[in-house]
Amino acid sequence: MGKKIGAIVAGAKLAERTVTVCTRGDLNAEIEDLQRQLVQADRDFVKQSLADVSPARGLAERIEVLREQMRADEHVFKFRALSAKAWSDLLAEHPPRHGHDEIWNLETFPAACVAACCVEIDGEAETLDAADVEALFDVLNSKQRDDLFDGAYLANVRSADVPFSVLASKILHSTEQS
């Protein structure tokens, strides 16, 4: 192996992606209901004296408590791309079903892909199998399942270009001018 390519190979790392999933989707409905009540309370409240306190404050506080509960149940999944051979083997293990217009088996490939590519959950090393992922998929909605699959899939197929952060740039430029 040439000196330059050897250095490139030695320093290369497989692409990684993270996906955050909140497993307390049940609290969304309660927050939405409180939000409607909050809008109504804010609209209807007429302060009669300095001692009057809007009922909107209690509703807003309850919303924040529920948001914190939801944040406590957010889980960060880290996915790492597979080697070229492992990716090819995974695709070959889940060929399209006969009579279906699909690139791979849509029933089996997503869970297998998530299982094969997940390396961490909440910063801790984790090894999953397809049964683990299927159990997880059973308690998530379609968007959450898609997000997890997209994270695993895109780690393998998306370019690893240097990302640009608008927020980081804005913060750095605003502090330079201060």
**pLDDT, tens only, 84-132:** 999 999 999 999 999 999 999 999 999 999 999 999 999 999 999 999 9
pLDDT, tens only, 5-45: 999 999 999 999 999 999 998 998 899 999 999 998 878 86
pLDDT score of 30: 93
More confident site: 48 or 91: 91
CB 92 within 8 A of CB 113: no
Q: What CA–CA distances, in Å, run from 43 to 27, 53, 80? A: 24, 14, 49
pLDDT score of 171: 87
Task: Write down the pTM of the prediction.
Answer: 0.81
Closest CA to 23 of 73, 63, 69, 62: 73
Question: Is pLDDT of 178 > 60?
Answer: no
Q: Which residues of 138-162 are buried (b: 16+ CB within 10 A; e: fewer)?
A: eebeeebbeebbbbbbbbbeeeeee
Helix ranges (H only) for the chain are: 3-11, 26-44, 55-72, 84-93, 109-117, 130-137, 142-157, 166-177
In the chain, domain spans: 16-157
